Amino acid sequence: MHFVGKTGLALVLAFAAAPAFAQTTVITTDPPQTRTVVTTSQPLQLTPVQRQTIYRTVTRTMVAPAQATVEYRVGMRVPQTVELYSVPQEIVTEVPVVQPYKYMVVNNRVWLVDPATSEVVAEVND
């Protein structure tokens, strides 16, 4: 049997009972940064006049149409490889509800896409 002297035992117990010290670092920003994310679970409801405004304005701008290898529908997710464009300010002024969305043009149709979810929220055609 191996015996530890009273002094050795006292040292072992003292180190075992010593509190562990941890360092916690908290980083804050002043002012706090916030971000608003708009998500939709239902298709975007647009009037016929709003649809016409969107379609006519977008088709006047020269954007590269997305490849038509996929047949898009409202509710589908758009691949990250598809280039999305910001809605022109001219449209946002007349149809403010579309401001948070991006768009793409496929097969002479304008598709509004929620950039937070990559989900198609509206189809606009002539």
Number of domains present in the structure of the chain: 1
Q: Using a cut of 0.85, tell me whether the model's pTM lies above it.
A: no
Q: Is residue 20 part of a domain?
A: no
Q: How many CA atoms lie within 13 A of 73 on its CB side?
A: 1
Which range among 15-29, 40-54, 61-75 shows the weakest confidence by mean pLDDT? 15-29
CA distance 77 to 79: 6
Residue 74 within a domain: yes
116, pLDDT greater than 70: yes
Instruction: Report whether the peptide linkage leading into residue 79 is cis, meaning its omega lies within 30 degrees of zero.
Output: no
88-110 as b/e: b if 16+ CB within 10 A: eeebeeebeebebbbbbbbeebb
Please give the residue range of the domain that contains residue 57.
Answer: 48-124
CATH number at residue 102: 3.10.450
Q: Which of the four pLDDT bands, split at 50, 70 and 90, describes residue 70?
A: confident
Q: Which one is predicted more confidently, 105 or 21?
A: 105
Q: Is residue 14 part of a domain?
A: no
pLDDT at position 87 over 80: yes
Any domain includes 17: no
- C-alpha 1/C-alpha 90 separation (Å) is 90
- pLDDT of amino acid 107: 83
Is residue 99, in this structure, part of any structural domain at all?
A: yes
